[in-house]
Structure 1
Amino acid sequence: MTAGTVVLLRHARTAYNATLRLQGQIDIPLDEVGRWQAAEGGAALASSHRATAIVSSDLGRAHDTARAYARELEGAEVRTDQRLRERGFGAWEGLTGEEIRERSPEEYAAWRRGADPVRAGAETKAAVAERMAAAVTEHADALDDDATLVVVSHGAAISLAVTALLGLDPTTWRGLAGMHNVHWSHLHRSGAHAVPAWRLVAHNVGAGYPLDQWQAGPDWNLEPGPKSA
């Protein structure tokens, strides 16, 4: 017995997202645009996927995004699981890419090529994929075959989870584009004894806004007011 559908939803925007800072496991809240994204994205997700169970990372930005979606389902329960946290990036957390490059040029270049930045104290991709896939599988296995599990997590963690669930090597395979805030991946359970056990149905699906409008927030279409004399 296992859920037939799993949806992995990335959290809404934070100030670190807006300024291109590496968040990792820093518990930073949603910003104003993020709260709007969570409401709009939650409504869009509810129109296509109505969860039987909702499980979220325990970090606030993911949990608040999960609660926005749950409100669309008349206050469905949101459970948390620490295994669904973002990949930890150690000493690099809170820094911009330029700051990381200046401080650790060689390791930064290796990271951009796909290597694990172990000297910075980051989790390995394999470790993140293992804990994410284990959490998703455990929560899915507790549900009926016609159930839908919605998992609210983080960008890097979701990419690694999907890679692992598709039976691919998370240390070397980099075939998924990173997800935008409050966008989701949809996986469907394969038939009995099929390999891999899950199939990717859709990836990086959102509320339907053009990306520039989505990133700008609810005031994207406001023209500047007249200048005072």
Structure 2
Amino acid sequence: MSSSVAAMEEEMEMEIPKGYAEIVVVRHGETTWNASRILQGQLDSQLNEIGRQQAAAVANRLSKEPKFNAIYTSDLKRAADTAQIIANQCGLKEVILDEALRERHLGDLQGLTMVDAQKMNPSAYKAFLAHKRDQEIPGGGESLDQLHHRCVSSFQKIAGQHKGERVIVVSHGGFIRELYRKAAPNRKLEGKIQNTSVSVVLISASNNRWFIKKWGDTSHLQGIGMLDSGFGGDKTSG
């Protein structure tokens, strides 16, 4: 292949369809609670050393891509710290905190391991594992339908503000799973949302059309560790 043809193909890959925003979605780095298999929900926990290495790796990767116009993040510390590391590397001056990008609220289960949740609050544990879309979790927890609505509306808003632009959003495993459900409603999501995995979604806010351009890429994490054993990002994400 000639260099001119390769350059043309690369340029086409970079193009954003008219009226769409290209949103690069990143799950936060691994946390101390991920490593301890604790349900985080909307409680705060710190990135651990592996999580910081993961954040640095994804930041380095994204810094080599075409320019980003903005970076948004959940205001929970594990996501906000990941976003700040990315912003510093990509030359983005402002990290926009948005509580609408938070993980699902898990009610009375937040702060418990799965084993302790089953023993200490069996009713909330049962509600959590039921996976019924309209099932709220005792203690103020969200249903999957409520999480889905929050997820979709927040991304529609971001897409409407960034037509023709590329932006980064840092969020959480359960939240990102709902993005997939919206963008690919007829396909089953296999596997988990890995820490600092990269997915790319094209969204038209005007006609509510969503397309997946890339999903769950972790090529930047080779050699960092905890990729397969990391907790969360699956059907019991939180």
Q: What TM-score, normalized by structure 2, do the two folds share?
A: 0.76
Instruction: Tell me the amino acid that sits aligned with residue 160 of structure 2.
Output: D
Query: Which whole-Å CA distance do the structure 1 matches of 2:108 and 2:149 have between them?
Result: 22
User: Quick one: structure 1 residues 100 and 90, their matched pair in 2 at CA, closer, same or farther if it must change by over 3 Å?
Assistant: same
Alignment correspondent of 1:90: 107
Displacement of 1:8 in angstroms is 1.3
Q: Percent identity?
A: 28
The one of 128, 135, 140 aligned to 2:159: 140
Displacement of 1:54 in angstroms is 0.7
2:75 equivalent to 1:58: yes
The one of 32, 40, 43 aligned to 1:26: 43
2:85 equivalent to 1:68: yes
Does structure 2 conserve the Cα–Cα contact (< 8 Å) formed by 1:41 and 1:207? no
Unaligned runs of 5+ in 1: 217-229
Instruction: Tell me the amino acid that sits aligned with residue 199 of structure 2.
Output: S
Alignment RMSD (CA, Å): 2.8
Does structure 2 conserve the Cα–Cα contact (< 8 Å) formed by 1:25 and 1:87? yes
Alignment correspondent of 1:123: 142
Displacement of 1:188 in angstroms is 2.1
2:218 equivalent to 1:206: yes
Q: What TM-score, normalized by structure 1, do the two folds share?
A: 0.79
Displacement of 1:214 in angstroms is 4.5
Does structure 2 conserve the Cα–Cα contact (< 8 Å) formed by 1:14 and 1:30? yes
Does structure 1 conserve the Cα–Cα contact (< 8 Å) formed by 2:103 and 2:172? yes
Unaligned runs of 5+ in 2: 1-17, 229-238
- Number of residues of Structure 1 aligned to a counterpart in Structure 2: 209
Does structure 1 conserve the Cα–Cα contact (< 8 Å) formed by 2:59 and 2:85? yes
